[in-house]
Amino acid sequence: MLAEVRTGDRQLRGTSGVADLDSRQPVNGNGFFRIGSNTKTFLSVVVLQLVAEHRLSLDDTAGRWLPGVVHGNGNDGGKITVRELLQHTSGLHDYTDDLQAQITSPEAYRRLEFRQFSRSDLLDIALAHRPDSAPGAAWNYSNTNYILLGMVIEKVTHDSWENQVTRRIIIPLGLRHTYAPGTSTRLPAPHATGYLIFDKNTRIDTTAENMSWADSAGALISTAADLTRFWSAIGRGALLGPAQTREMRQTVPATGGDSASVPGSGTGWASSSSRSAAAAATGHTRATYPGTTPSAPSAATGAPRPPCPSTPTSTSTTRYWPPNTASSTTSCATADTGLVQQPAGF
């Protein structure tokens, strides 16, 4: 486990456990990990910045920006607002449930770990189901919402959600170890080994994984220091104006399902990210990603930097996502050491 807390000029960082169950190496406090659903907070910030720029409205429907995308089996994008996507009140089924249901054995996991999923693949899974509830009627955590929000961002900006997150958040805050991995399956060193544990005698290494299945709902990589800086910026209003900050802190009642891992009575958008952060502390078992540390507090959840090259290198350059957007002086290694990870998987 890795935890980091900053208060004013004071910083406290602690680690516990081992980074690898075989080597028993200690946890590296500077290690990279997959931040999972903390990615959603990054997306939420971009959406609310677009709202502040009057390029998008929270009351716009998904159908306005993505005509014909959400349809069939009672699903209707024309009745689902951007606000409802952000708040997890769209009623759309979570495709992740279906993916998790397929992982019944190590062999089943191996068939999925490096598969390249398209957004159409993910939406086809979700939209094969009827809605879990009517839009706005109930809270139900669904990664499908944030896949659609990533697509909305791209439609509004004519740019990828990864580039928008980089330009609007990662570069301004100097998050030099936060990035979207794209099609890379690697986790930069140092890092912990990720495991999927089926029983006391069966565990598999899940550190390397194609994160296309999570995409804009959970693909980012980061470090504790970067995530601390990001969450601090959220808290002090450095990324959003007062009106958007108020919107982000609006919550809705959360009952049942994943609400067990949400502190308090509800979750909103930043809360939706706060929820993700909280999930890191309480076990966001819906999607425990290889390289994540679900037992770490929110400040310890982060989104690592651009993947190192596939060929081992010690070049003293830091790559932002997308590559060549900015540079700094941090080495990129390939050794597999670092953070402790919990059982990982879809």
DSSP letter (8 states) at residue 47: H
Question: How many whole angstroms separate alpha carbon 70 and alpha carbon 62?
Answer: 8
Helices (H), the chain: 39-52, 62-65, 82-87, 95-102, 106-112, 119-127, 143-157, 161-165, 171-173, 224-235, 242-248, 270-282
Please tell me which residue in 37, 261, 276, 295 is annotated as part of the active site. 37
Tokens at residue 148, please? 């659609």
Question: How many whole angstroms separate alpha carbon 258 and alpha carbon 190?
Answer: 31
DSSP string of 57-102?
-TTSBHHHHSTTTSEETTEEGGG-BHHHHHHT-S----HHHHHHHH
Q: How many residues does the chain have?
A: 346
If one counts every other C-beta atom within 10 angstroms of the C-beta of residue 172, the result is: 12
Q: Quick one: CA dihedral 333, 107, 144, 160, positive or negative?
A: positive
Question: How many whole angstroms separate alpha carbon 219 and alpha carbon 210?
Answer: 9
CA dihedral 116, 165, 282, 143 (to 10 degrees): -50
259 in catalytic set: no
If one counts every other C-beta atom within 10 angstroms of the C-beta of residue 208, the result is: 15
In which element (H, E) is residue 140 found? none
Pairing of strands 221-223, 202-205: unpaired
Tokens at residue 209, please? 């994984």
Question: How many whole angstroms separate alpha carbon 90 and alpha carbon 87?
Answer: 8
Identify residue 233 by its one-letter amino acid code.
A
Q: Which residues are catalytic?
A: 37
